[in-house]
Every structure is written in C-alpha cells, then in structure tokens.
Structure 1
Amino acid sequence: MMWRLAVLTVRAHIGSYFAPAAVMTAGTALLTAFASLLETGLETGRSAGFLIMLPAILGGWTVAIVAFGVVSTVSLTIQHREQELALLRSIAATPRQIRQNVVLETAIVALPAVAAGLLPGIALGSVVLGRLVGGGLVSAPTALSAGWLCVAIGAGTSLSAAVGAALISSGRAASIPPVRALSEASPSARPLARARAVSGLGLLAVGLSLAAATLFMADGPLLSSTAGPAGVAVAVGLALLSPLAVTPVRWLSNARLGATTRLAARNAHVRAGHSAGVASPLILLVGIAAGTLYMQSTEDSVHRGPAVAGDVSAQLAPVNYLIVIMIIGFSAIVVINTLVAATRRRRREFGLLRLSAATRGQVLKMVAIEAVVTAGIAVVLGTLAAAATTVPYSMVKTGSPIASGPAWMYLAVVGGAFLLVMLATIPTTMGALRVRPVDALSAA
C-alpha cells in the first residue's frame, strides 16, 4: 500500500523530483569516476601510487561535496511539499506513515537516477586515466577497472545521501500540525535551527583546523590533502549558517530604493531559511571554484616552464584542472537545479502578487533583485571559504598569504555565479508569469 502511494505521489510531482534526480545522476557520475581510478590502482598494481593517491586526496572531499548537493536538493524538494504533507496528517496519516512515504518516494526517484550516472562516471574515469597515462604518471597500457567497488562507492554514496536527507526532512514534515494544511503559507520558521547551527559551527571548526594544519605541513603533493578539504568544510559550514547572513538584508526594506526593492528585501528577510537554501549550493560553488583554481595556479607559479622528467607537480597540473572542471560542473548543476526548483514553487506567490495589482514587470524585477542579493551573499561567503584553502596553501608554497594567479580568474568565478543565478531564475519566473493569476493560486 505504501509503495503504491509513493509511486502515485512521484508521478504527480515528477517535475519537482527532476532537480534531485539530476543532481543524484551527476553526483554518482563524479564519484564513480574517482572510484574507478581507485579500483584500477588496487587491481593493477602498476603506478598504483598515483591511481590510489589521486582519488584518496580529491575523492575524499568530493564525497562531501556530492553528499551536500544531494542532501540540499532532496531536502528542498520535501520542504516545498510541507503543506501537502500537513494535509495528509489532517486526514489521519500518522507521523510514521509520513516518514515512510517520504523515504519510499525518495528511493523510487534515486534508484534510476543513480543507475543512470554509473556509465557516464566510468567514461569520466577513463578520460582522467587517459590524462594520467598521457602525462607519464601511469604506465601504458593500463585499462580502467570498473567492478563492484566502483559501483558500491558511486551508487552507495548517492543513495545514502538521498535516504539520509529523506529521513531528516521527513522527521520535520511528520511533526507538522495538521492545522497547517489549512493555511496557504507556512509560518516563518526559526531562521536557524539548533542542529543546523551546531553542525555549521562544527564544520567551521574542522575547516579552520585543517587550514591551520596546512601551515605546518611540508611542501609537496600531499599539501592539498588538507588545504582542499579545509575550504570544503568551511564552505559547507558557512552554507549551513547562511540564514544569519540573509537576515541583515531587512535594512533594505526601509531604504528609499523603491517599492520593488523593499518588497524583495522583505521577502528575503521573512523567507531567510528558503533564501539560504538557494544560496547554499552557490556558496559551495564559489568556494570550490575559487579555492581549487587558485590553489593550482599557485602551484603553477612555483613550477613555471615546461614539465621535465620527475616534475610531478607540473605533470599533474592538466589532470588537476580537468578534475576541478568536473567538480565545478557538478556544483553548477546543483545550483541550477536548486534555483529552478525553488523558483517554480513560487508560482502561487507570483499569482497572489499579480492579483494584488503587481505587474509582470514588477514581479520579475523583484525576483531579479532577490537573485542579485542572494548571489552577492553567496559570493562573499564563498570567497571566505576559498581563503581557507588558498591562504595556508600559498603561505607554504610562496611565503605570501595572497595566492598567485590572474585577477580575471576570480572575476570569472564571480561573474559565472551571478550569470548562473540569472539564467536559472529569470526564464523560470517568466514561464511562471505566463500562467493566469487565478490558475497560479491553485497550482500544485
């Protein structure tokens, strides 16, 4: 009975589940690529040092990135269905049944999504292996191994993250009073729950500890094993604490900047938790992109000139850039899917604004201002996270806290963040505004 209800629910909300499914597919592909390299190193034994070291160093904090991306999108999808779940509670569904139904729905979406990511992941692993062989870091010929270990790591991590997010979010959904089903809008939740605050502060402490440990490490290939995870931990910690960064925008609601700007500021302040959910993957994207790119450019500045025999850092540079692009690509997918899903769920709000005499242009301008504010907060917090990687790494490599690399690279990261936000929110808002206001009020 529960399986049947879960299947019917997924069919009814197939559009809402597209975002977490896409993130799970991309995350599985990324993890499978690293896992295939690890399995190849364990089975062949030839040049196993690089085939094991590379996924061990980079794959470890990639697991954290993928897990955070999957958890954030699954949680956002379930959060958007709180009113519907409250309605089920009002017709005698028990909290246990709500939790079971949410977990089953997530599993139904996750299984095919994860399976779809395995083959692209093996293909990515093959590309990275080809770069390693071409750079002389792995002896040729070496064939990629993709067996049970590869599948277990890639699929298992994504599935575990999805089910974990469902268990956490369903606990909150099951505790919703049935009377909530009678209200159109959810009451303002606490901007920052205790568990989220504790987790965020804990990750910040871990990240700063790793950054400090980097300062005392010897210069070598293992330096990134602490510098990289430091930035990721700080980025996730700041993402969890981001509701506190969103709330100060309320001062804009009293500024003489126009009615639309004041409305956008009030929306961001009142919906701090929702705004933070949108900003979180963007914080991670900016932190990872700026941190890893400048970490590698600092490495390049120390090893200028053509690669010579035994110059491992120079030989690894093309491989590292390829992996960085893969991780940034995954983070961009998370950002786009999160923003599109969050904007689509605001159709009812847009319809109510238009019935209150707001024009399409005013609503679109309001969303654009919200997007700029959200992106601005994410860029600031993401830059702080990147500093946790670049500052200690650069101190060890060059003696300067300022990372080596062109300024345009940071500007490209910032510009790309704003561009992603606009490309995801503006067209989605325009599509939502094509719906008649009266029809939008009854939209699911």
Structure 2
Amino acid sequence: MLPAILGGWTVAIVAFGVVSTVSLTIQHREQELALLRSIAATPRQIRQNVVLETVIVALPAVVAGLLPGVALGAVVLGRLVDGGLVGASTRLSAGWLCVAVGAGTSLAAAVAAALISSRRAASIPPVRALGEASPSATRLLSRARAVGGLGLLAVGLSLAAGTLFMENGPLLSSTAGPAGVAVAVGLALLSPLAVTPVGWFAHARLGATARLAARNTRVRARHSAGVASPLILLVGIAAGTLYMQSTEDGAHRGPAVAGDVGAQLAPVNYLIVTMIIGFSAIVVVNTLVAATRRRRREFGLLRLSAATRGQVLAMVTVEAAVTAGIAVVLGTVAAAATTVPYSLVKTGSPIASGPAWMYLAIVGGAFLLVMLATVPTTVGALRTRPIDALSAA
C-alpha cells in the first residue's frame, strides 16, 4: 500500500507540474499557434502537435530517470526495513515489468497533462496572429478550471469535515491528509482570482519598480498563477503533513510502546513528505526558470525604454516575492484543512502541535527556492543586448 501511495503522489505532482509548464509554454506561443490556425491548421492538429512535442521531451526524460528511480527505491526500502514495517529479509526486485509499469505510468501522466493543456492551445483564435499576445485578452479562468477548482475545494472541505467525526486512531490521517491535498490543488486552479487583487497596489504610493511589478502581476494573472501553482502544492503538503505528524508525536509522548503503529509510521511519513517536497521543488524550479527565460523580449523592451538592469532585476524580484507570498498564504490555508480537524480529534485544540520554526522554515524555503530560480535566470537574460533580445524572441 505504501509504495502505491508514494507513487501516486509522485505521479500527481509530476502531472501537475507538466500541466503548469505546458500551459506557460502555450501562453508564450499564442502567436505561433494562432499563425498555424490562420494557415488552415485545425484545432485537432494543434492538439496533436502539443501532445507530440510533450512526448518527444518526456521520452528521454523517462529513460534518464529509470536508474535513479531504482536507486531511490532501494533507499525507500531500507528506511522501511529500519522502521520495522518490512521484514529484514526483503530484497529489492527491479524486474522489467516494474520498470515498464513505472516508465509507462510516468509517460501516461505527461501525455494526460499535455492533453489537458492542449485544449487551450486549440481554442486560440487565428486573429491572434495579427497582433501581440495579450495576457489580459483571455479569460482569467476557463469554465473547466473553475469547475475543477471548486469541485476539489468541495471534496477537500468534505474530507476535512469527515475527519472531525472519525475515531482517534491510525486511520485518521487517511482523510485528513487527502483533504489538504485536494484543497491545495483546488486553490492552485483558482489562484488567478487571488493574484488579481495585487494590482490594487499599483496605484498605491510605492516606488516605480514596485508599482510596475504589481501591475505586471495583475495583468499577467494567469502567468503568475501558473508559477504559483506548484508552490501552493509544496507549501500545503509540506506544512500539512509535517504538522500532522508532529501532532501525532505530541499526542503519544512518553516511552515507546511495542507495536505502536503511530511510532512505526512516523519515519515513513517523514520520508514521504521529504520526497514530495523534493519532487515539488524540482517542478517549482523548472517552472520558474522556464517562465523567466521566456521574458527576455520583455526585458529587452524595458531596457530600450530607459530601464536599467538593476531596475529590471528589482522588478522581477518583487514579482517573485509577491508570487511566493500568494502561494504561501494559499498553501497555509490548504495545510489548515489537514491540521485543524486532525488536531481537534487528537488533542481537542484546533492548533496543531509542533515548533513554530518548522513553519518558518517551510515559508523561508519557499521564498528562497523562488529567488534562487528567478534571480540568476534574470541576471543571465539581462546579459543579452536589448536589441538582440527583441530579435531573438
């Protein structure tokens, strides 16, 4: 059961990351795709093109991940043996069937994510090829995204409410954990609505750089939400799972009891959340680097409009901080869907047990991750001469 849970979370995170990355790519290729539509390419052909491009990129990535995946499986098995959940005589078996299923599942997740994103690509009108792609020219939320986000929020809140009526036992986390994940994904889908109010600060008495960053974040709400989405998932899952486990630990303080399921599962839960954080961090970095690199033309235009490199870098830094702040707030709300009902049943208090530094570390790590992925990429993009950046776009 445990490998299925860990594998399921991994596939879900990978699929979510592919959707975010492909969606951002489509946003930056609107003119190109509209041009294909204007020369008689059908929506079906556009969808096929997006899916095939994703498969071409995903295939070598899946092959490259096979050997590290087997090595990671050995590490996980070792931790399970150390925790007493698996017999010491158990050995890792990496047969061709397991490898094929793992590779096939990963590729299927990428294809499914590409199919979801390709719907937007196929809906781009041909007339878009005649002008500049405008981030504000499209709807903030598609109907499917709004319905999906609200549906997942309803599922997550229902699971959180159901947790309140469960008995205090090992199965309590079976509803509390998924509740936070469902709310996190739902909030990520609806995040453009949370990004838009940032534009209100564009009229505040802030510096020119901060005003421009706030206006950019508002106008490019879909883009900013695409960057924030994997970060919401990271903060929500990390904070929810870690504080759920720390609450469990706090409720069972004292000498270890033989056969205590909670004590046995503790190291496994920490292992799971560590791996989820690692996979989520990779998705966040890839998304941020890809999104920043595609803004070279915008940076070049700002430089030609008399903006200095320092001003452009400051603008991007403020945008990154705002995006990270939005993700932290929404991720914290998602984590509360896990920790509040779990803590109420375990301790009678809505406040989860655990040190404050753990939450501060998650928040600080989220901001650090965003800055490390954004600032160096921006510095590299600014090394290109403005006129070259315009012609290379």
Pairing of 1:227-246 with structure 2 (within 5 A):
227-246=176-195
User: What's the counterpart of residue 392 of structure 2?
Assistant: 443
Corresponding position: 1:368 with 2:368: no
User: What's the counterpart of residue 30 of structure 1?
Assistant: none
Distance 1:214 1:187, change over 3 A: closer
Q: 2:14 aligns with which of 48, 61, 66?
A: 66
User: What's the counterpart of residue 307 of structure 1?
Assistant: 256
Pairing of 1:384-423 with structure 2 (within 5 A):
384-423=333-372
**TM-score normalised by the chain length of structure 1:** 0.84
Distance 1:79 1:148, change over 3 A: farther
**Deviation by residue 1:205-231 (Cα, 9 ceiling, x = unmatched):** 011111111112222222211111111
User: What's the counterpart of residue 381 of structure 1?
Assistant: 330
User: What's the counterpart of residue 44 of structure 2?
Assistant: 96
The answer as to whether partners of 1:344 and 1:428 remain within 8 angstroms in 2 is yes
User: What's the counterpart of residue 43 of structure 1?
Assistant: none
**Deviation by residue 1:264-314 (Cα, 9 ceiling, x = unmatched):** 111111111111001111111110110111111111112224534212211
Shift of 1:404: 0.5
Q: What letter matches 2:164 in structure 1?
A: L
Q: What letter matches 1:122 in structure 2?
A: V
Distance 1:173 1:57, change over 3 A: closer
Distance in 1, matches of 2:169 and 2:8, equals 18
**Deviation by residue 1:17-46 (Cα, 9 ceiling, x = unmatched):** xxxxxxxxxxxxxxxxxxxxxxxxxxxxxx
User: What's the counterpart of residue 35 of structure 2?
Assistant: 87
**TM-score normalised by the chain length of structure 2:** 0.95
User: What's the counterpart of residue 112 of structure 1?
Assistant: 60
Aligned partner of residue 92 in structure 2, secondary structure: coil
Corresponding position: 1:200 with 2:200: no
Unaligned runs of 5+ residues in structure 1 are 1-51
Pairing of 1:9-24 with structure 2 (within 5 A):
none
Distance 1:63 1:221, change over 3 A: farther
Aligned partner of residue 88 in structure 2, secondary structure: coil
The answer as to whether partners of 2:135 and 2:220 remain within 8 angstroms in 1 is no
Moved more, 222-231 or 81-90: 81-90
Corresponding position: 1:251 with 2:174: no
Distance in 2, matches of 1:58 and 1:174, equals 34
Q: What letter matches 2:372 in structure 1?
A: L
Q: What letter matches 2:272 in structure 1?
A: I
**Deviation by residue 1:242-278 (Cα, 9 ceiling, x = unmatched):** 0000000111110010111111111111111111001
Distance in 1, matches of 2:82 and 2:119, equals 50
Among all aligned residue pairs of Structure 1 and Structure 2, give the percentage whose two residues are the same amino acid. 89
Q: What letter matches 2:45 in structure 1?
A: Q
User: What's the counterpart of residue 26 of structure 1?
Assistant: none
Q: 1:260 aligns with which of 206, 209, 214?
A: 209
The answer as to whether partners of 2:20 and 2:227 remain within 8 angstroms in 1 is no
User: What's the counterpart of residue 138 of structure 1?
Assistant: 86
Q: How large is the RMSD of aligned CA atoms in angstroms? A: 1.8
Unaligned runs of 5+ residues in structure 2 are none
Moved more, 151-160 or 285-294: 151-160
Shift of 1:131: 1.5
Shift of 1:350: 0.6
Corresponding position: 1:332 with 2:281: yes
Aligned partner of residue 392 in structure 2, secondary structure: coil
Shift of 1:89: 2.6
Shift of 1:60: 4.2
